[in-house]
């Protein structure tokens, strides 16, 4: 079937997570994504992961996670010969993505102005912690730093545990998604105008709009964030509750859902209780309400309540571990995880494109590349002979 980004060539100079996560989505949509890696050991993520044997192969789990469907070309961009190869690649490319600190690409001679002069249609996306301009632009940044500076850690947890980071690199991944979204928008603009452009993505900018409701309560309602742990600040009862054998998430966010919940738990008297009758009073008295509900919920296991409450329209779900979550029947049905054969390693699971297109579906096709796997073929396509390639390798340019 047709791929939505057929014919689009992306030069991916990114490392670790935010950039590779962005280009992974472009690759799943059919773009030819060429990773430009340093000849010594490539993307740092190749050494990151909990399987030492894979790290030694430069195929660490962190690298495997977001580099399927891509090609790998090694290139020393500091050498004259490497620069020449890169210029030739840029002439054939549609998109360049990098996540160096601001100024690095300019010092190499490959900033947006230089590249757009030779290829006016180029879309250049720079991903960094704080953006290309501003008082913090040149500060180093990892996901942990951005979580702290964005307010994310400040709004997580409860009075016992705060600040609290998210359990995965949320700022890096959201920054990558933001970059992929922006690149697609720029490709759409170019389709209509022929114009390339520069895209400046900051992880700090990317994560903060995700706190829109919490931020609106502060900016418009002048209410500081309240630490609520696993409770939902918009409604009550809405959060995590103890059951006979664990815990369950219940989101009785609407009045009818609250009333149905109270009846199902055989506490209909709470519906007319003045402390809980109205939405805002329930929210104010959630600490009084929760124990009354848990007294009933702990009489039966989680599975019972998931079945009973969902049947009457009260959104309810078990709280499960990651392994069980990945193996859910719904995840299998959606094809969220698919397998690919990785040479020298075996068959491994990978996340597929989560957006399901009816006419141009994204799909996993090729395993993450070994370091420099495609260098000879790509250079050959640019006119380099076998002798030229051997000479570049001898000089450690590739």
Distance from C-alpha of 23 to C-alpha of 14, rounded to nearest angstrom: 9
User: C-alpha angle with apex 364: 12 to 326, nearest 5 degrees?
Assistant: 110
Confirm whether 220 is domain-assigned.
no
Task: Indicate whether 80 belongs to any domain.
Answer: yes
Residue 302 and residue 345 in one domain: no
pTM of the model: 0.94
Structure tokens at 394: 């001898």
Give the pairing type, strands 238-242 and 197-202.
Answer: unpaired
Residues, the chain, total? 398
Active-site residue (options: 12, 76, 94, 172): 172
> Which residue, 267, 285, 318, sits at the end of a domain?
318
Of 28, 4, 23, the residue nearest 12 (C-alpha): 23
| Number of separate domains in the chain | 2
Based on the domain organization, do 45 and 14 belong to the same domain? yes
Clarify whether residues 50 and 105 are in a common domain: yes
Q: Do 299 and 151 belong to one domain?
A: no
pLDDT at 278 over 80: yes
276 and 380 inside one domain: no
Same structural domain for residues 38 and 92?
A: yes
- CATH value at residue 309: 3.30.1540.10
The reply to whether 260 and 187 lie within a common domain is: no
**Is 264 in the same domain as 313?**
yes
pLDDT tens profile 34-51: 999 999 999 999 999 999
pLDDT at 317: 98
Strand, coil or helix: 71:
strand
Q: CB under 8 Å to 197, separation ≥6 — which residues? A: 123, 124, 186, 189, 190
If asked whether residues 360 and 296 sit together in one domain, one would say no
For residue 147, pLDDT over 80 is answered with yes
Same domain, 341 and 251: no
Per-residue pLDDT, 1: 73
For residue 224, tell me if it sits in a domain: no
> Could you report the per-residue pLDDT of 114-125, keeping only the tens digit for each?
999 999 999 999
Eight-state DSSP code of residue 101:
P
Q: Which domain covers residue 262, as residue numbers?
A: 247-318
Question: The tokens of 72 are what?
Answer: 């790998």
What is the Cα 286 distance to its own chain's centre?
Answer: 33
Q: How confident is the model at residue 346 (pLDDT cuts 50, 70, 90)?
A: very high
131-146 confidence digits (pLDDT tens): 999 999 999 999 999 9
Within a domain: residue 156? yes
Q: What are phi and psi of 44, to 5 degrees?
A: -55, -30
Predicted pLDDT of residue 14: 98
Three-state DSSP state, 50:
coil
166 & 271 share domain: no
Residue 172 annotated in active site: yes
Residues 305 and 387 both lie in one domain: no
CB 28 within 8 A of CB 51: no
CATH of residue 167's domain is 3.40.50.10540
């Amino acid at each position: 079937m047709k791929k939505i980004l057929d014919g689009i060539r992306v030069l991916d100079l990114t490392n670790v997570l935010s950039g590779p996560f962005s280009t992974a989505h472009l690759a799943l949509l059919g773009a030819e994504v060429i990773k430009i890696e340093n000849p010594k050991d490539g993307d740092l993520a190749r050494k990151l992961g909990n399987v030492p044997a894979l790290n030694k192969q430069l195929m660490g789990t962190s690298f495997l996670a977001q580099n399927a469907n891509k090609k790998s070309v090694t290139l020393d961009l500091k050498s004259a010969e490497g620069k020449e190869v890169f210029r030739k690649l840029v002439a054939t490319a549609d998109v360049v993505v990098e996540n160096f600190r601001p100024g690095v690409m300019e010092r190499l001679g490959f900033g947006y102005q230089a590249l757009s002069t030779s290829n006016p249609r180029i879309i250049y996306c720079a991903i960094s912690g704080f953006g290309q301009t501003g008082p913090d632009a040149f500060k180093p940044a990892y996901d942990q730093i951005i979580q702290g500076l964005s307010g994310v850690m400040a709004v997580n947890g409860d009075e016992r545990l705060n600040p609290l980071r998210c359990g995965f690199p949320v700022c890096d991944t959201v920054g990558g998604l933001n970059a992929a979204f922006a690149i697609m928008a720029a490709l759409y603009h170019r389709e209509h105008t022929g114009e390339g452009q520069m895209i400046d993505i900051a992880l700090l900018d990317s994560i903060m709009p995700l706190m829109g409701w919490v931020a609106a309560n502060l900016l418009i309602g002048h209410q500081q964030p309240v630490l609520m742990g696993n409770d939902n600040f918009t409604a009550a009862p809405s959060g995590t509750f103890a059951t006979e054998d664990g815990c369950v998430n219940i989101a009785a966010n609407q009045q009818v859902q609250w009333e149905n919940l109270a009846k199902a738990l055989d506490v209909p008297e709470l519906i007319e209780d003045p402390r809980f009758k109205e939405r805002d009073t329930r929210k104010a008295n959630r600490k009084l309400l929760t124990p009354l509900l848990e007294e009933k919920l702990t009489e039966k296991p989680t599975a019972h309540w998931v079945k009973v409450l969902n049947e009457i329209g009260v959104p309810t779900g078990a709280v499960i571990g990651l392994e069980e979550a990945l193996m859910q029947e719904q995840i299998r049905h959606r094809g969220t995880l698919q397998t690919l054969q990785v040479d020298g390693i075996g068959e491994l699971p990978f996340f597929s494109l989560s957006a399901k297109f009816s006419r141009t579906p994204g799909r996993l096709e090729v395993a993450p590349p070994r370091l420099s796997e495609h260098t000879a073929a790509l250079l050959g396509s640019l006119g380099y002979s076998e002798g030229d390639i051997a000479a570049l390798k001898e000089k450690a340019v590739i």
